[in-house]
């Protein structure tokens, strides 16, 4: 069986042809090396094989299935050329997270010992050297006992102390019958590849120029690893719970980020308290709602969007896309984080309002306000995720400024009495969110005639932005 089959594949970026009618097959147990200068198309070919790029022409199958097939991802391990792991996770935490994606994985202690990283288990990933990060990337690739290993320039940044460990693991994979595709332009690699590789393919200008046999395929049939053909029931709840737990763990290690989330609403309400307006009894609830509204909006759009953008640019999301983790589990874990952070932020604001501002409302009113704020922010959190896939971190700051300007114009402030302005407001989700919050604070005496309309618009906005976010996820230019 051919583990990889590329048939007449062509890929364009704009008018540039980066892959030109590529034909390539890898048999079970082969070790094929892909060589070529920078810009020759190696990485584009790897990304196409992994299903990260949609080709313009031709067909690619991975283990006789589509590269995007979930079952395929259970059988492959990948090491990318560049990857920046979440810096606020410890090495052991990251490995345990990755283990949870596979139903047949190696033990954390075992894989760290083989990579000589056992003494780094409780260190943050950001403290690792470049070579140690590459060994950690290889550890993740081998955790699920892969049958196919794809390595894109894996030896870059490897020093002499880590190079030997790396090649020891690759040799072990070859002996166990793992099929391997590797790209390289490091001359030092051939010290090991001349004994291990079965073929060398030279790529130039998007075309295969040479296909050279190096060693014959001499692996005993019993050593060839079998595929995970059995489709086991996926415990989605476990995946979701573990992913959400890690998101919270990562946040707990980042005190600066937490302070940045809470400092704006807390500062605003404290400044208002010290002002002359804060001493009066008028509109205290309205001001508390406005500050909560602003704080949640900034977090949902800017903070969440920037965290997604940083993970995307660093390559972490790219690695997640070739793992067995379903994308919607990752996105749901981010939304869960929004729920938790928003809830904690509101508890601070409500506590301040009750203890310092003397706001006394019925318990049911506090609950109604809380639920309206937290659930109403979800569509805008989805917007933040989509923005994270479309923009780089610096551009998100500009987008936030524009968003706050649009919000101020369309949230229903008494800026104009014209009929046209009122008609425009009806189409603004910010207006419906504001109206929902107004109702929540006075639900016992506020007319409910349009409550269903406000809720409908927020739900509709969430659905529409979900489609936009999925589209942004699929067209990720960082991957391309």
Concatenated DSSP letters of 14-72: TTEEEEEEEEEEEETT-EEEEE--TTSSHHHHHHHHTTSS--SEEEEEETTB-TT-HHH
Number of Cα atoms under 13 Å in the Cβ half of residue 316: 18
Question: What is the per-residue pLDDT for 109?
Answer: 93
Instruction: Give dist(CA 85, CA 133) in Å, integer.
Output: 8
Question: What is the per-residue pLDDT for 372?
Answer: 93
39 pLDDT tier (thresholds 50, 70, 90): confident
Query: What digits encode the pLDDT tens for the residues 114-140?
Result: 999 999 999 999 899 888 999 999 999
The 3-state DSSP class for residue 225 equals coil
Number of H helices, E strands in the chain: 20, 9
Instruction: Calculate the CA dihedral of residues 472, 473, 475, 480 and round it to 10 degrees.
Output: 140
Query: What digits encode the pLDDT tens for the residues 407-419?
Result: 888 887 766 677 7
Q: Smallest Cα–Cα separation from 457: which of 442, 471, 436, 472?
A: 436
Backbone torsions φ then ψ of 19, nearest 5 degrees: -130, 130
192 has pLDDT over 80:
yes
Q: Smallest Cα–Cα separation from 41: which of 12, 15, 61, 79?
A: 12
Question: What is the per-residue pLDDT for 209?
Answer: 86
Question: What is the per-residue pLDDT for 122?
Answer: 93
In which element (H, E) is residue 220 found?
none
Task: Name the β-bridge partners of 90.
Answer: 124
204 has pLDDT over 70:
yes
Instruction: Give dist(CA 53, CA 11) in Å, integer.
Output: 9
What percentage of the chain's residues is helix, strand, coil (to nearest 5)? 55, 15, 30
Question: What is the per-residue pLDDT for 273?
Answer: 67
436 has pLDDT over 70:
yes
Question: What is the per-residue pLDDT for 403?
Answer: 87
Instruction: Give dist(CA 292, CA 269) in Å, integer.
Output: 9
Instruction: Give dist(CA 259, CA 215) in Å, integer.
Output: 58
Instruction: Give dist(CA 399, CA 407) in Å, integer.
Output: 12
Residues 407, 430 contacting (CB under 8 angstroms) = yes
Percent of the chain scoring above 90 in pLDDT:
31
Summarize the confidence of residues 217-246 as an average pLDDT: 71
Query: What digits encode the pLDDT tens for the residues 248-268?
Result: 998 888 877 777 777 777 777
Instruction: Give dist(CA 211, CA 17) in Å, integer.
Output: 21
Summarize the confidence of residues 339-358 as an average pLDDT: 84
Instruction: Give dist(CA 339, CA 349) in Å, integer.
Output: 15
In which element (H, E) is residue 370 found?
helix 363-376
Q: Which residues, 6 or more positions from 397, have their beta carbon under 8 angstroms from its beta carbon?
A: 302, 306
379 pLDDT tier (thresholds 50, 70, 90): very high
Which comes out higher in pLDDT, residue 399 or 418? 399
Q: What is the DSSP letter of 124?
A: B
Q: Where exactly are the structural domains of the chain?
A: 2-223, 236-474
Query: What digits encode the pLDDT tens for the residues 54-72?
Result: 888 999 999 888 888 888 8
399 has pLDDT over 80:
yes
449 has pLDDT over 80:
no
Instruction: Give dist(CA 301, CA 307) in Å, integer.
Output: 10
285 has pLDDT over 60:
yes
| Top mean-pLDDT range of 114-118, 397-401, 421-425 | 114-118
Which comes out higher in pLDDT, residue 479 or 468? 468
- Length of the chain as a residue count: 480
Which residue, chain included where needed, has tokens 């050279």? 212
Average pLDDT taken over every residue of the chain: 85
Backbone torsions φ then ψ of 432, nearest 5 degrees: -70, -35
User: In angstroms, how far is the first alpha carbon of the chain from the final one?
Assistant: 29
Summarize the confidence of residues 433-460 as an average pLDDT: 83
CATH of domain 2-223: 3.40.50.300
Residues 433, 458 contacting (CB under 8 angstroms) = yes
Q: Which two tokens stand for residue 192?
A: 């090991």
Query: What digits encode the pLDDT tens for the residues 268-280?
Result: 777 766 665 555 5
478 has pLDDT over 80:
no
410-434 burial, b if ≥16 CB within 10 A, otherwise e?
A: bbbeeeeeeeeeeeebeebbbbbbb
The 3-state DSSP class for residue 146 equals coil
391 has pLDDT over 70:
yes
Summarize the confidence of residues 28-49 as an average pLDDT: 88
Question: What is the per-residue pLDDT for 446?
Answer: 66
- Helices assigned H by DSSP within 102-254: 108-114, 130-143, 160-175, 190-196, 236-252
Query: What digits encode the pLDDT tens for the residues 135-168?
Result: 999 999 999 999 999 999 888 778 788 888 999 9
Instruction: Give dist(CA 162, CA 134) in Å, integer.
Output: 9
């Amino acid at each position: 069986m051919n583990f990889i089959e590329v048939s007449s594949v062509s890929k364009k970026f704009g008018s540039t042809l980066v892959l030109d009618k590529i034909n390539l097959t890898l048999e079970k147990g082969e070790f094929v090396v892909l060589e070529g200068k920078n810009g020759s198309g190696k990485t584009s070919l790897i990304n196409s094989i992994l299903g990260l790029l949609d080709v313009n022409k031709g067909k690619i199958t991975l283990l006789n299935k589509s590269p995007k097939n979930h079952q395929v991802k259970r059988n492959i391990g990948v090491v990318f050329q560049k990857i920046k792991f979440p810096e606020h996770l410890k090495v052991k935490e990251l490995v345990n997270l990755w283990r949870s994606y596979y139903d047949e994985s190696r033990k954390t202690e075992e894989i760290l010992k083989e990579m000589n990283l056992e003494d780094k288990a409780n260190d943050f990933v950001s403290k690792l050297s470049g070579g140690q990060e590459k060994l950690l990337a290889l550890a993740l690739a081998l955790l699920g006992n892969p049958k196919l290993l794809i390595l894109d320039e894996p030896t870059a940044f490897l020093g002499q102390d880590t190079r030997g460990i790396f090649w020891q693991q690759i040799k072990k994979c070859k002996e166990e019958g793992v099929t391997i595709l590797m790209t390289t332009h490091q001359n030092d690699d051939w010290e090991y590849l001349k004994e291990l590789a079965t073929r060398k393919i030279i790529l130039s200008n998007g075309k295969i120029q040479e296909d050279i046999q190096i060693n014959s395929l001499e692996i005993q049939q019993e050593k060839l690893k079998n595929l995970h053909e059995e489709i086991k029931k996926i415990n989605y709840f476990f995946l979701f719970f573990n992913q959400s737990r890690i998101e919270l763990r990562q946040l707990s290690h980042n005190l600066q980020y937490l302070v940045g989330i809470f400092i704006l609403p807390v500062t605003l309400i404290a400044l208002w308290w010290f002002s002359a307006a804060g001493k009066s009894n008028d509109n205290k609830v309205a001001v508390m709602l406005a500050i909560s509204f602003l704080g949640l909006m900034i977090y949902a759009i800017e903070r969440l969007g920037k965290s997604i953008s940083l993970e995307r640019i660093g390559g972490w999301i790219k690695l997640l896309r070739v793992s067995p983790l379903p994308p919607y589990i990752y996105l749901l874990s981010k939304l869960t984080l929004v729920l938790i952070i928003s809830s904690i932020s509101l508890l601070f604001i409500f506590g301040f309002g009750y203890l310092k501002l003397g706001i006394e409302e019925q318990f049911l009113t506090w609950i109604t306000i809380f639920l309206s704020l937290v659930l109403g922010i979800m569509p805008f959190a989805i917007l933040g995720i989509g923005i994270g896939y479309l923009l780089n971190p610096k551009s998100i700051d500009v987008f936030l400024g524009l968003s706050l300007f649009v919000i101020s114009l369309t949230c229903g402030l008494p800026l104009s009495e014209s009929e046209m302005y009122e008609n425009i407001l009806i189409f603004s989700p910010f207006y419906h969110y504001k109206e929902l919050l107004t109702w929540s604070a006075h639900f016992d005496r506020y007319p409910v005639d349009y409550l269903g309309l406000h809720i409908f618009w927020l739900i509709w906005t969430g659905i529409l932005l979900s489609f936009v976010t999925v589209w942004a996820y699929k067209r990720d230019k960082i991957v391309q």
